[in-house]
């Protein structure tokens, strides 16, 4: 597999499927199935899921309500989606852990980095709920931050388009897809990949991003098998040199990783 530890970002909106609101059961099971397939191939999978299908902080402002309150409502929405994905994965027999940026102890573990690392090493799919647990952020920022923290090889941004285009392909039929692009080019051309906080975190920490179509069956697996899927964003526009520290190439990983000395789950 091309990447050994991934952070998969799924938007809440995508979970709606054809619905106007909430969770579409078919789409949920499809995502769970895609994740199960790659986890069973030995890829360590962390997932961040958005909440836009239920609530976004900016909606609160539009209602004349408090923005911070709205952001917390949005974070809780991501926990609902995370619980749904966890349940769907468990239905498929995939071990998972849900770690939340907000403490909700009856339903999930609090986010503790060492715990997250340990779960990943044990082959559990780790779902990060409640974003980073602070208002004025997005789940894209949570995806970047958690990916850096748990030393993921790449952030995979699953969307409904198959990569980054010269223009919005849903509006401009002449738009073409970049197979690879640099962080600087994305910024110069003002292309929409992630919000600026999330994008800058990846850039400053040299963390590659791949934007790809998550709704296409088997795409996640193809990407991890090294097929040209989506658009890869890196520092110099070429394939990243992966650091083997958590690549599974070291048989003694469990003994050498500082994460292993943390709390056992």
Name the site residues for ligand UDP (rule: CB under 6 A). Answer: 11-13, 50-52, 56-57, 70-71, 74-75, 77-78, 131-132, 134-135, 137-142
Cβ of residue 141: shortest distance to ligand UDP, in angstroms?
6
Q: Is 200 annotated for ligand binding?
A: no
Minimum CB–partner distance for residue 65 and ligand UDP (Å): 12
Q: Which residues contact 262 (CB under 8 A, 6 or more apart)?
A: 112, 114, 115, 117, 118
- Tell me the backbone φ, ψ of residue 82, rounded to 5 degrees: -65, -40
Residue the block writes with tokens 């980054």:
164
Of the pair 143, 246, the CB lying nearest ligand UDP is at: 143
Residue 19 CB, nearest distance to ligand UDP (Å)?
Answer: 14
- Considering the complex, state which of residue 54 and residue 180 has its C-beta at the smaller distance from ligand UDP: 54
Our CB check for ligand UDP shows the closer of 160 and 245 to be 160
Calpha distance 125→163 (Å, rounded): 25
What stretch of H or E contains 77? helix 67-91
- Cα(73)–Cα(76) distance, integer angstroms: 5
Residue 261, annotated as binding a ligand? no
How far apart are alpha carbons 16 and 124 in whole angstroms? Answer: 26
Could you tell me if 99 and 111 are in contact, meaning their C-beta atoms sit under 8 angstroms apart? yes
- Minimum Å distance from CB 78 to ligand UDP? 6
- Please indicate if the annotation marks 132 as binding a ligand: yes
34/140 with CB nearer ligand UDP = 140
Report whether 134 belongs to an annotated binding site.
yes
- Do 46 and 126 contact (CB within 8 A), yes or no? yes
**57 assigned ligand-binding residue:** no
Tell me whether strands 5-10 and 44-49 are parallel, antiparallel or unpaired. parallel
11 is in an annotated binding site: yes
Q: Is residue 121 classed as helix, strand or coil in its secondary structure?
A: helix
Q: Between 34 and 180, whose beta carbon lies closer to ligand UDP? A: 34
- The CB-of-74 to ligand UDP minimum distance in angstroms stands at 2
DSSP class of residue 247 equals S
Torsion of CA 61, 66, 68, 73, to 10 degrees: -80
Q: Which is nearer to ligand UDP, 4 or 78 (CB)?
A: 78
- Annotated binding-site residue? 133: yes
Cβ-proximal residue to ligand UDP, closest one: 50
Is 128 flagged in the annotation as binding? no
Count Cα atoms within 13 angstroms, Cβ side, for 129.
26
C-beta of 212: minimal distance to ligand UDP in Å? 15
Query: Which residues are annotated as part of the binding site for UMP?
Result: 51, 71, 132-139
Query: Which residues are annotated as part of the binding site for ATP?
Result: 9-12, 52, 56, 159, 165, 168
Query: Which residues are annotated as part of the binding site?
Result: 9-12, 51-52, 56, 71, 132-139, 159, 165, 168
């Amino acid at each position: 597999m091309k990447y050994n530890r991934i952070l998969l970002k799924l938007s809440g909106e995508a979970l709606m499927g054809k619905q106007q609101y909430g969770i579409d059961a078919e789409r949920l099971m499809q995502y769970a199935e895609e994740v199960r397939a790659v986890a069973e191939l030995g890829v360590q999978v962390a997932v961040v899921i958005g909440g836009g299908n239920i609530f976004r902080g900016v909606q609160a402002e539009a209602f004349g309500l408090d923005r911070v309150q709205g952001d917390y409502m949005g974070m809780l929405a991501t926990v609902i989606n995370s619980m749904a994905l966890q349940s769907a994965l468990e239905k498929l027999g995939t071990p998972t852990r849900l770690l939340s940026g907000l403490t909700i102890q009856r339903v999930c573990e609090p986010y503790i980095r060492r715990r997250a690392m340990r779960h990943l090493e044990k082959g559990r799919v780790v779902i990060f709920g409640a974003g980073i647990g602070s208002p004025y952020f997005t789940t894209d920022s949570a995806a970047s931050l958690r990916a850096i923290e748990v030393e993921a090889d790449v952030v995979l941004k699953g969307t409904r388009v198959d990569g980054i285009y010269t223009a919005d392909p849903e509006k401009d039929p002449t738009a073409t897809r970049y197979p690879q692009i640099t962080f600087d080019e994305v910024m110069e051309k003002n292309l929409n990949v992630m919000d600026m906080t999330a994008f800058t975190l990846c850039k400053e920490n040299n963390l590659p991003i791949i934007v790809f179509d998550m709704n296409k069956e088997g795409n996640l697996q193809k990407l991890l098998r090294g097929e040209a899927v989506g658009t890869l964003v890196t520092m110099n526009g070429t394939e990243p040199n992966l650091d083997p520290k958590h690549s599974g190439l070291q048989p003694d990983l469990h003994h050498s990783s500082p994460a292993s000395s943390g709390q056992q789950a």
